[in-house]
Amino acid sequence: MQTDRIALCLAAHPDDAEFFCAGTLALLRQKGWQIHLATMTPGDCGSMQHTREQISRIRRAEAARSAAILSGQYHCLEGDDAFIMYDRPTLLKAVRLIRRVRPRLVFTLPPDDYMVDHVHTGKLALTACFCGGIPNIETEGVEPFEPIPHLYYLDPAEGKDHFGRAVKPHIIVDISEVIQQKQDMLACHESQRSWLRAHHGTDEYIETMKRLSSRRGRQIGRAYGEGFRQHLGHAFPSDNLLAAELGDRVHELTERLSDA
């Protein structure tokens, strides 16, 4: 297996990746990529019946089982649910993760999502990717890592921003053939069914994911899809590595930027 074919999803909570990019990760795994799932927190507020310590243990184990479906690894940066900060200590954790995993592809939460935990996670991932190769940012035990990875933002929840406006992805990946793996990964998070039923008023954990995936799939004439926007800011790679790796499963919805 090529050592540079490493994909990392850095999310806020266990099950974020399963809702929004597990299908794409499964397709990359088929192509020989190593898969890493990481969360800023163990989801320690995601329970109406367990203590923070109890639910943290449960959710870490669930996330590890999910990652194992893709022969992947799970990492938890041990922040506090609902209190993810964009500050020096938290950012150093994210930089250390990037340097330890050494990913070529990074997926993270979008800059316009419904909750600040998600927004801060996306910013942390962005800066960690950019700063991973800077020698003067010291992280004990791990060396600086270059080049800057390709960075893709996941869909926001329900495909809309915090003002309720629809968010248009740059690309949609056809995940129809791996929807069962995506479902199996999400099903590992058994603790969240009761939490969402109590707090969000929904008892359709798997079906909610499938509806979201089906909505993106219909946009490209397929059964299921996952939407992404690529970070194309200065110094970041501008070629679409997902398209290069996954071929005709990737449908671009916006024109690529070109030199003026």
Q: Which residues pair with 10 in a beta bridge?
A: 38, 108
* Dist. CA 173–CA 158, nearest whole Å: 17
Domains and CATH numbers, the chain: 6-252 (3.40.50.10320)
Q: What is the pTM of this model?
A: 0.94
The pairs formed by 245-249 with CB atoms below 8 angstroms and a separation of 24 or more are 245/28, 245/31, 245/33, 246/24, 246/27, 246/28, 246/31, 246/173, 249/27, 249/173, 249/174, 249/175
Q: Quick one: angle between helices 205-219 and 191-199, nearest 10?
A: 90
The share of the chain scoring above pLDDT 70, in percent, equals 93
* Whole-number average pLDDT of the chain: 93
Contact (Cβ atoms closer than 8 angstroms) between residue 231 and residue 257: no
Nearest to 177 by CA among 247, 237, 123: 247
The amino acid present at 255, given as its one-letter code, is: E
The share of the chain scoring above pLDDT 90, in percent, equals 87
Question: How does pLDDT run across 169-208, given as a tens digit for each residue?
Answer: 999 999 999 999 999 999 999 998 776 666 666 657 888 8
Q: What is the pLDDT of residue 201?
A: 67
Look at 25-39, 90-104, 202-216 and tell me which has the smallest mean pLDDT: 202-216
